[in-house]
């Protein structure tokens, strides 16, 4: 006779990525990394280094603003490179999309969407997201 009140010893299953359907590119699906504590520290350290370099430029003149925009784009690229595992349902110039191809020739709005999802996954507050 078994007791159904005993805890199960099956263990837990952890999926290291999360599947999302794109809102900006209908039909595209992408997977982003779920972050561990160590990965979150690594990513946020890299983002902090990058944003520190460009943040003060946002108060400057036109050439400084252009540099600040470059910083924002490089930060978006960092989030995509770091957090995107794969993309499906999107071809670019007849080739199945990869992280590299998406960054080089893909729709910028999808890159921005992915970067925002990676930021959410890392638990960044709205203010931290605006500053990165």
E-only strand ranges, the chain: 17-21, 29-33, 84-88, 91-92, 95-96
Residue 55 lies in a domain: yes
Residue 18 lies in a domain: no
Residue 25 lies in a domain: no
Torsion angle in degrees (nearest 10) through CA of 108, 114, 118, 123:
90
Residue 31 lies in a domain: no
Q: Tell me how many domains the chain contains.
A: 1
Residue 74 lies in a domain: yes
Residue 104 lies in a domain: yes
Instruction: Read off the pLDDT of residues 2-41 as tens digits, 9 standing for 90 and up.
Output: 555 666 567 888 788 999 999 999 999 999 998 888 888 8
Residue 35 lies in a domain: no
Q: Which sign does the torsion angle of CA 23, 24, 28, 34 carry?
A: negative
pTM greater than 0.85 (yes/no): no
Question: 88: alpha, beta or left, given left = phi > 0 and alpha = psi -120 to 50?
Answer: beta
- Indicate the pLDDT class of residue 124, thresholds 50, 70 and 90: low
Are the CB atoms for 31 and 86 separated by under 8 Å?
yes
Instruction: Read off the pLDDT of residues 81-97 as tens digits, 9 standing for 90 and up.
Output: 999 999 999 999 999 99
Domain range spanning residue 111?
50-127
């Amino acid at each position: 006779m078994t007791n159904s009140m005993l805890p199960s010893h099956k263990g837990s299953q952890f999926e290291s990525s999360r599947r999302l359907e794109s809102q900006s590119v209908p039909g595209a699906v992408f997977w982003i990394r779920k972050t561990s504590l160590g990965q979150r520290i690594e990513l946020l350290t890299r983002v902090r280094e990058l944003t520190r370099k460009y943040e003060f430029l946002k108060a400057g003149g036109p050439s400084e603003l252009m540099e600040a925009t470059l910083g924002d784009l490089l930060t978006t690229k960092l989030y995509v490179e770091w957090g995107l595992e794969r993309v499906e349902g999107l071809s670019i110039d007849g080739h199945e999309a990869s992280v590299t191809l998406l960054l080089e020739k893909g729709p910028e709005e999808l890159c921005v969407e992915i970067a925002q999802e990676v930021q959410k996954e890392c638990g960044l507050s709205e203010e931290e997201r605006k500053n990165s």
